[in-house]
Structure 1
Amino acid sequence: MPIYVYWGEDDFALEKAVSALRDRILDPMWSSFNYVTITPEQSDAEIEGLNEAMTPPFGAGGRLVWLVNSPICQQCPENLLAELQRTLSVIPETSVLLITSRNKPDERLKSTKLLKQFAQFQEFPVIPPWKTELLIQAVNQAAQTTGVKLTAKSTELLASAVGNDTRLLYNELEKIRLYAGDSNKPQDENVIAQLVRNTTQNSLQLAAAIRTGDTNQALILVTDLINASEPGLRIVATLIGQFRTWLWIKIMIEGGEKNQQEIAKMAEIGNPKRIYFLQQEVSTLSVKQLVGTLPLLLDLEVTLKQGGAELATLQTKIIELCQLCQRTRQ
């Protein structure tokens, strides 16, 4: 298939996919002739890209035309739609047209519907930091790609350390690969603790400290996170996701639901075996307390988006959240 549409906010993963596609399509000796990148700042970028895709490659290998950050799946004027209708079905097999965007394609647009007929779509999403199973799965996939062997415990520790930062994940795996050398032995958690930065604090640990009402530990963690250049809004997004998950678990338990599969489905948890541990985590909290955290977190998010000082704003709200979770269960 000579047409690809890559989209999503995980820039690093998308860039790696582009590199892999480029290596597969192009002959290194002829890449300067057959590799064309077109940015949206260029006049009539999409029309130019379609015309370039229709041009046969020079020499050996194929031709790759990359429309960078194209808005073609968010807005498409009639003249461009007409050009798409004329061109997409006749792009030669020796040419590949690649369209990338951070934004989700608008399924209502005629251009998107048309591309769906001819193109292969692939999403590169940023995994929510509270989706532990997906983060561990991403570490396993990246470790396999880089040839690094990890134990189950070290995989979990690495997932906890890097979160959803794909670029950091690959950087740390490269560090581990160099450390392991020719050894075929899986690298254990001691290696991760020695080599990987930020293994002692992350936003999920912050959520746990707030849940237990440990104000001192929560303030230490949020300071460490800010000092490690973790964006405040990303911290808040993790906290919101984690407290929503805990709230769902508590509501269903108090509603009499005992089927872990059903609880996992409603709470959007991939591994039902985690439900038991999540139940223990919320055992000392009431639904009222968990519900009360969400307005505080929303106010925190709004304040940060309005330009509030990150550390001071986070510290103030985290103290309020810890005090809420310390209260006797109602």
Structure 2
Amino acid sequence: MPVYLYWGDDTYRLMQAVQQLRDQVLDPHWAAFNYDRLPPESTIAGLNQAMTPPLGSNARLVWLEETTLTQHCPEDLWEEVERTLAQLPPTTHLLLTTSSKPDGRLKSTKILKKTAIVREFSQLAPWDEEGILQQVQREAEQRDLALSPAAAQKLAEAVGNDSRRLAMELEKLALFTAGQQDPISPEQVEALVPASAYNSFQLAGSLRKGNLEQALRILTHLLDHNEPALRILAVLVGQFRTWLWVRLLLDQGERDPKVIAQKAEIGNPNRVYFLQKEVGSLESSALLRMMQQLLQLEYQLKQGQPEREVFQEALIQIVAFLQKGSSSRSRSQTSAAALLGERGTIGPASRSTAT
């Protein structure tokens, strides 16, 4: 009675797992007769099909796609599911998939987590640089593809959290470097992998690291691909505001991730761990000056000044602030508190840039 629950918004990885399961359990000669893929409105029909013995083979796969059983499950429907699970033949593999996170409060979710093989396929957040790099390294290892550390870093920057594109680019690298004894170099990655996955979060990360050359390159890419300047700015303001809040709270001796997440308005407390590492070498005074520069940039953009020129100048100033360092944390904390306000907002103007 194998039952599987696959969930997450990384559609590519989830579909790859479904295909692997299909290849694993079905006889290819009888797959057309023993494989059923059903939409959420056909749950009852799928359960009935799951009770049917396979034709000409020893296994049947019934896939309930985008199931609602872990989000909303009426009592009468769950009674039917429970009855089916109790009598499911050992020759049937029942697969349930959903892009939404299962609601752990539901009875149906609790029972499925106990009886099913559960796998999560959530897409990495674009700000999770460490997680994206680990995903690149893991996928490369699974393909027996050797990447130098610098090449893995460059590939992570190029593809971001797009798992589908990562798989395609790794296949391309494997093809063009077949027979090569040395690990793939960053120069080869740069030559073969266009950096079309650049996003505003990577721009913020480049500024945080003081990498002006990369920041200007990402900005140029975004503007050339018609990304609205105010939308880019909204991401930068939100990211630097979060870094400033975390830095100030750390300076005050706060270490509880939940408290930091609440005060800094961070939706996921697990993100605090990464944020603490990101602001480890930053001064609150430098972050404050960066925020002021971003607010000045917003004013310039809304006044209709040439977006590329004023944006580039702002990035140069921000990196200069990092290089100069800070003079006094205590003075910046007082100024930052006034800027952020009691509720931790930057002000109506900056909020208005968010989409």
TM-score under structure 1 length normalisation: 0.75
Corresponding residue for residue 130 of structure 1: 127
Indicate if the aligned counterparts of 1:139 and 1:155 stay in contact, CA closer than 8 A: yes
Indicate if the aligned counterparts of 1:148 and 1:177 stay in contact, CA closer than 8 A: yes
Q: CA–CA distance in 2 between the matches of 1:134 and 1:149?
A: 19
SS at match of 2:123: coil
State the Cα distance separating 1:290 from its structure 2 match.
Answer: 5.1
State the Cα distance separating 1:126 from its structure 2 match.
Answer: 1.1
CA distance change for structure 1 residues 284 and 188 in 2, over 3 Å: closer, same or farther?
Answer: farther
Aligned AA (2:109)? T
Corresponding residue for residue 304 of structure 1: none
Indicate if the aligned counterparts of 2:233 and 2:294 stay in contact, CA closer than 8 A: no
Residue in structure 2 matching 1:269, options 267, 273, 284:
273
SS at match of 2:84: helix
Q: Deviations over 1:216-240 (max 9, x none)?
A: 9968734522655879999689647
State the Cα distance separating 1:129 from its structure 2 match.
Answer: 1.4
State the Cα distance separating 1:52 from its structure 2 match.
Answer: 1.3
State the Cα distance separating 1:141 from its structure 2 match.
Answer: 1.3
Corresponding residue for residue 16 of structure 1: 16
Q: Which runs of 5+ in 1 are unaligned?
A: 298-311
State the Cα distance separating 1:146 from its structure 2 match.
Answer: 2.2
Q: How does 1:171-210 map to 2 (within 5 A)?
A: 171-198=168-195, 201-208=198-205
Aligned AA (2:272)? E
State the Cα distance separating 1:92 from its structure 2 match.
Answer: 1.8
Q: CA–CA distance in 2 between the matches of 1:22 and 1:233?
A: 46
SS at match of 1:279: coil
State the Cα distance separating 1:280 from its structure 2 match.
Answer: 3.2
State the Cα distance separating 1:204 from its structure 2 match.
Answer: 3.8
CA distance change for structure 1 residues 166 and 209 in 2, over 3 Å: closer, same or farther?
Answer: closer
Indicate if the aligned counterparts of 2:147 and 2:185 stay in contact, CA closer than 8 A: yes
SS at match of 1:269: helix
Q: Deviations over 1:252-271 (max 9, x none)?
A: 4422579xxxx9x9863369
Q: Please report the RMSD computed on the Cα atoms of aligned residues, expressed in angstroms.
A: 4.3
Q: Does 1:120 align with 2:121?
A: no
Corresponding residue for residue 32 of structure 2: 32
State the Cα distance separating 1:198 from its structure 2 match.
Answer: 0.8
Q: Which runs of 5+ in 2 are unaligned?
A: 261-268, 299-303, 327-331, 336-355
Q: CA–CA distance in 2 between the matches of 1:128 and 1:92?
A: 40
Q: Deviations over 1:152-193 (max 9, x none)?
A: 111111111111000110010010000111224210111111
Aligned AA (1:93)? P
Aligned AA (1:279)? G
State the Cα distance separating 1:209 from its structure 2 match.
Answer: 6.3
Q: Does 1:149 align with 2:137?
A: no
Indicate if the aligned counterparts of 1:130 and 1:242 stay in contact, CA closer than 8 A: no
Fraction of identical pairs, as percent? 40
Corresponding residue for residue 240 of structure 2: 243
Q: How does 1:64-75 map to 2 (within 5 A)?
A: 64-75=61-72
Q: CA–CA distance in 1 between the matches of 2:157 and 2:214?
A: 18
Indicate if the aligned counterparts of 1:66 and 1:97 stay in contact, CA closer than 8 A: yes
Q: CA–CA distance in 1 between the matches of 2:228 and 2:62?
A: 35
Q: CA–CA distance in 1 between the matches of 2:106 and 2:19?
A: 29
Corresponding residue for residue 161 of structure 1: 158
Between 31-40 and 244-253, the greater mean CA deviation after superposition? 244-253
Indicate if the aligned counterparts of 2:243 and 2:287 stay in contact, CA closer than 8 A: no
Q: CA–CA distance in 1 between the matches of 2:292 and 2:197?
A: 29
Q: How does 1:21-100 map to 2 (within 5 A)?
A: 21-40=21-40, 44-100=41-97
Corresponding residue for residue 280 of structure 1: 281
| Equivalent residues, number | 303
Indicate if the aligned counterparts of 2:246 and 2:275 stay in contact, CA closer than 8 A: no
Indicate if the aligned counterparts of 1:246 and 1:282 stay in contact, CA closer than 8 A: no
CA distance change for structure 1 residues 215 and 181 in 2, over 3 Å: closer, same or farther?
Answer: closer
CA distance change for structure 1 residues 10 and 238 in 2, over 3 Å: closer, same or farther?
Answer: farther
Indicate if the aligned counterparts of 1:34 and 1:63 stay in contact, CA closer than 8 A: yes
CA distance change for structure 1 residues 116 and 244 in 2, over 3 Å: closer, same or farther?
Answer: farther
Larger Rg: 2
Q: CA–CA distance in 2 between the matches of 1:244 and 1:35?
A: 51
State the Cα distance separating 1:131 from its structure 2 match.
Answer: 1.1
State the Cα distance separating 1:93 from its structure 2 match.
Answer: 2.1
